[in-house]
A and B are shown apart, each in its own frame.
Chain A
Amino acid sequence: MRTALAVARVQFRILRHDPWFLLIMFGMPVVVIPVFHRVVGLWLEDAGYPGADGSEIVVPGQMVLFGFFLGGSAGFSIFREHGWRTWDRLRASAAAPAALLAGFALPWIIIHVLPSYSWPPRRCAPHNSSMACRTLAPCCSAV
């Protein structure tokens, strides 16, 4: 666990120097979801679902979409280590492969989960969802 956190901490530090990734992974859902849920809400009302505000479709949809991005980004982080010639050092270290993978994935999962806290509860799917639900839903989609 300690090793995974050390790897995650380094990955966060590396991300800090590459803000475009953060902007896309964190900023895009925050911007896109409020815009799209109104449009989809109107469409749902038209389709005979009165009271629907669109977040029922947009939130899980975006989470799944960005979950795929997350997988790609975590994979890219590992691939980048090859270019930096640090991958062999990681492999030769005492860190278990599972701890290394967890360390690479953790920052991206956090970045993926955070946007789901940026909407008021009534906008989340399902309505009035708990904080645990908000955390678990994107994690599941990421996995």
Chain B
Amino acid sequence: MEGIRKSYGDVDALRGVDLTVERGQIVALLGRNGAGKTTLVSVMSGLLKPDAGAVAVDDINVLTHPAEAAKMIGLAPQETGIYRVLTVRENLEFFGELAGLRRRESRARGDLVAEQLELTDLMGRKASQLSGGEARRLHTACALVHSPEFLMLDEPTVGADVASRQRLIETVAAMAADGAAVIYTTHYLAEVEALDADIVMIHNGEIMTRGTRAELIEQHHRGGLRFTVQGSVDQTILDDLDIVSVQPQTSGTAGEDVADYVIAGDLRMPDLIDRFGPSVGQLVSVERNLPDLEGVFLAVTGETVSDGEEGL
């Protein structure tokens, strides 16, 4: 996709996004809620028309030839969309037929995908009788049933248990190994690492950075320290620090407020302890801020996380 722009009234959801996904590649879209991930997926799947820009799958223009492009696309939207009055088998067959498979072919593919996502024992069960995690697996299976060449999964593991997540990740990785291009949006950073995906960080409708986990950490990790304080700290001490995030915890043992801080920069642990001076008793713990994607995201967006806000 090239130069994709999309606005909702005065809100710019996408501001000139360029993104290419090669065959066999998994791209993980990371960003906060409202960053534009779902809008991007909707534009790529042809559900939304962009205000400007072009989207193509294997040189087929999604905007001008949606039906041709749709045969190559498998989409599992963010919200679970299955027919709850139908059985698991009927759902899989139907979505296969919608994608252009013949009925017999669709049934065979449905059996295969059900096996991959451990739905085989549930084939005769109505979708309304499935647990949340099982329904989510069926929702994703419906996107895989026609072996799409371009797979888009929008937060596919929401509500799924650990085993379901693992199964799904294995299936997605296998499809990519077979040559499918995959776009995967999630808030679970562990999944991104498990998929060994190329990471695209999106913020306020713009792609901020792209690379593997190792590349991003090398480029953007700011080092620094992570410490916990108990009780109210002299504000002048905190003002002198390059605070990246503040996360309040539940009250400490003595009932005082407790908060975790992350600071950037080259400040060493003894220097931090010195800065606290007589208040050092409030410093509960200090450790090195180890590299992680959350830290990379904050570094890339130039934001801090404070009380009540969420990270990725």
Contact = CB atoms under 8 A, between A and B. Distances in A.
Interface of A: 2-3, 6-7, 9-10, 13-14, 17, 84-96
Interface residues of B, number: 28
A3 B98 CA distance: 6
User: What 3 A-B pairs come out closest when comparing CB atoms?
Assistant: A85-B81, A6-B97, A94-B70
A10 B94 contact: yes
A88 B70 contact: no
Contacts of B99: 93-94
Nearest to B86: A13
B95 interface: yes
Contacts of A93: 70, 95, 98-99
Contacts of A3: 97-98, 100
Nearest to B99: A94
A76 to B, nearest CB: 15
A128 B79 CA distance: 54
B230 interface: no
Given A10-B90, A89-B77, A89-B95, A96 B67 contact: yes
Contacts of B83: 10, 14, 84, 86
A9 to B, nearest CB: 8
Contact of A88 (B81, B82, B100): B81
B86 A85 contact: no
Name which of B47, B77, B98 has the most chain A CB atoms within 10 A of its CB. Answer: B98
B81 A86 contact: yes
Contacts of B25: none
B138 to A, nearest CB: 12
Contacts of B103: 6
Contacts of B100: 3, 94
Contacts of B45: 92
Contacts of B142: 89
A136 B251 CA distance: 76
B290 to A, nearest CB: 39
B71 A94 contact: yes
Name which of A14, A93, A95 has the most chain B CB atoms within 10 A of its CB. Answer: A93
B268 interface: no
A48 B102 CA distance: 59
A3 B77 CA distance: 21
A6 B68 CA distance: 19
Interface string B46-86: 11000000000000000000011011010101011111111
Contacts of A91: 46-47
B94 A6 contact: yes
A17 B77 CA distance: 26
A93 B74 CA distance: 8
A78 to B, nearest CB: 14
Contacts of B79: 85
A95 B47 contact: no
A89 B81 contact: yes
Nearest to B103: A6
A84 B70 CA distance: 21
A8 to B, nearest CB: 11
A2 B103 CA distance: 9
A130 B98 CA distance: 36
A95 B98 contact: yes
A98 to B, nearest CB: 11
Contact of A92 (B70, B82, B90): B70
